[in-house]
Amino acid sequence: MSVDRLVIHVGPISSRGGISKVMRLLINNPSKKYRTMYFDTYINSTIIKKILNIFKLRRMLKRDIKNLKPDILHFHVTHNFSWWRKLSLIKIALRYKIPCIINIHSGKFDIFCKKYNSIAGKILKKLSDNELIQVVVLEKRWVESLSYFANDLVCIRNPVKIEKIHDKNKKNRENISLLLIARGDKIKGHEFALEVLSQINKNGFEANLEMTGVKSNFNISKDLNVKIHEWVVEDEEVKKIIKRSDFVLSPSEYEGSSMSVLEAMASGSIPIVSKVSSETVSVKDLVVENKNPKDWANKIIEIISKSKQQDLRKEIAEVIQRHEVSKISTQWSKQYDLTMK
């Protein structure tokens, strides 16, 4: 089959975080029916410069539509200012009668839609009624929570490359390696991860913690074995960090569908998550319902038994298959076809 259709992914591909990873995976692993390109919307600057940058992005998108003649535009969006910037570009696409995917990555988009007299929600509702647009969410829970603001929502999960998994089962008293991989945002739980580490030590276990998204002036007790990174850019380096961890912590208050959790599952590490990631892991024993560091520490200690680790890894290996990148690319290919009809 000849590849004669072009999809352009529109979003912050040069940014730090999960959306850029998803974009790269989809661009580098397209289905046989589609060619892929990207249109980078990221700018690391002040609000004023971001506003001014919108005019530049609008000119560039018009140029690319005229020159490249894409069959469909795939917009990767989150909440707040990101939404309003992308909305300006979506309107241009509609002016040129280009079919569009609005792929919502935010874990707070339902809250965002309700703010300020539901302005964003009303706009999303109107867009979802347009025959050129399909709104797509990452998990089934978002179909329910956003159904008031959008019609005919479709769920397509985040993709991940599944690694060959080696035996990582720990004996009871070996040093436990923890990891929190996230951008430097309070809601991601860096300080909480330190408390979990401290509680594990108090229970008589040796443990260490590695964290990303942490600046050198971050306050860490000298009694704790902690390694920090301000950020890890290269995907291969991220994989190495995940592979050397036993448990990946995700205590975040809001998540669309955490890429660090999916990468942990794909690499053989065990994620321990807050309830917002319960659908992502889909294994009840990996979810801690509260934000009590003692309970998180106890959950990890409970899993340290070898038989428990083996059973959980089998369950994780089954769940992660639904996110395998070639399967997700095929789902997107079918959705592009439907949106262009």
Domain shared by 181 and 240, yes or no:
yes
Count of structural domains, the chain: 2
> What are the tens digits of pLDDT across the range 25-64?
999 999 989 999 999 999 888 888 888 899 999 999 999 9
Residue 212 lies in a domain: yes
Q: Are 144 and 200 within one domain?
A: no
Mean pLDDT per block of 10 residues along the chain (341 residues) reads: 83 90 96 94 87 94 97 96 94 98 95 91 96 97 93 96 70 79 77 94 93 80 88 75 92 89 93 95 95 95 84 94 97 96 83
* Residue 167 placed within a domain: no
Write a three-state SS string for 209-253: EEEECCCCCCCCCCCCCEEEECCCCCHHHHHHHHHCCCEEEECCC
- Those residues whose C-beta lies under 8 Å from the C-beta of residue 186, and which sit 6 or more positions away, are none
| Shared-domain flag, residues 243 and 182 | yes
The full DSSP string for 153-197 is -EE-PPPBPPPPPPP-PPPTTSPEEEEE---S-GGG-HHHHHHHH
pLDDT for res 169: 60
Claim to verify: residue 75 and residue 220 sit in the same structural domain = no
3-class state of residue 256 by DSSP: coil
Whether 234 and 119 map to the same domain: the answer is no
Same domain, 274 and 197: yes
Phi, psi for 307 (deg, rounded to 5): -65, -35
Do 188 and 123 lie in one domain? The reply is no
Question: For the purposes of burial, counting CB atoms within 10 Å of the CB of 340, is it exposed (0-12), middle (13-18) or buried (19 or more)?
Answer: middle
Q: What angle do CA 281, 275, 208 make, to 5 degrees?
A: 75
Both tokens of 97, joined, read 């009668």
Strand 207-212 relative to strand 226-229: parallel, antiparallel, unpaired?
parallel
* Same domain assignment for residues 84 and 228: no
Q: SS3 for 44? A: coil
Write out pLDDT tens, residues 165-222: 655 665 555 789 999 988 767 777 889 999 999 999 999 999 999 998 887 777 888 8
Residue the block writes with tokens 């696409």: 93
Report the chain's C-alpha Rg in angstroms: 21
Contact 248, 179 (CB under 8 A): yes
Residue 249: which CATH number? 3.40.50.2000
**How far is the C-alpha of 52 from the C-alpha of 43, rounded, in Å?**
11
- The pTM of this model reads 0.92
With b for 16 or more beta-carbon neighbours within 10 A and e for fewer, the 235-256 pattern comes to eeebbebbbebbbbbbbbeebb
> Which domain covers residue 11, as residue numbers?
5-159+324-340
Q: Are residue 184 and residue 317 in the same domain, yes or no?
A: yes
